[in-house]
Amino acid sequence: MKRTVLPFFIAILLAAPAAFAESPSNADSSVRRRAAMAKHKARRRAALAKARHNARRRAALAKAKHNARRRAALAKAKHNARRRAALAKAKHNARRRAALAKAKHNARRR
C-alpha cells in the first residue's frame, strides 16, 4: 500500500473498535471518554497524515516547477550562445570575403 493511503487505513482500523463498543447507555463515562479520545486521536492522526502528504506533494511540484524553469533558462542561454556564435562566424566570413575581394580588385588595378 502507498505511504499516503496507509495512515488513513490505520486511522480507520483504530476508530473501528470505538464504533463497535457496547452502546454508551450501559457503558460508564470512562469507557465512553476513552472511545471518544481514540476516535479523536485517529482523526487527528489522519488529518496530520493528510497535511504531511499535501506538503510533500506541494514540495515535489515546487521542485519540478523550479527544475523546469532552470532547464528552460539553460536552453535559452544555449540557444543564444549558438546564435551569437553563428552571427560571429557570418561576420568573420563576410570580412574575409571582403578582404579577398579587395585584394583581387587591387591585383587587377596593378
Q: What is the pLDDT along the chain (110 residues), one digit of tens a residue?
A: 555 655 565 666 556 555 555 555 555 789 999 999 999 999 999 999 999 999 999 999 999 999 999 999 999 999 999 999 999 999 999 999 999 999 999 999 87
Q: What contacts 24+ positions apart, CB below 8 Å, involve 30-38? A: 38/14
Q: What is the pLDDT of residue 28?
A: 78
Between the CA atoms of 21, 24, 27 and 32, what dihedral angle is there, to the nearest 10 degrees?
80
d(CA 42, CA 47): 9
Dihedral class, residue 22 (left if φ above 0, else alpha if ψ from -120 to 50, else beta):
beta
Encode 65-96: b = buried (16+ Cβ within 10 Å), e = exposed: eeeeeeeeeeeeeeeeeeeeeeeeeeeeeeee
In a domain, 102, yes or no: no
- Give the chain's domain count: 1
In a domain, 97, yes or no: no
Range of the domain at 17: 6-82
Q: Could you read off the pLDDT of 31-56 as tens digits, one per residue? A: 999 999 999 999 999 999 999 999 99
In a domain, 29, yes or no: yes
Amino acid occupying residue 90: A
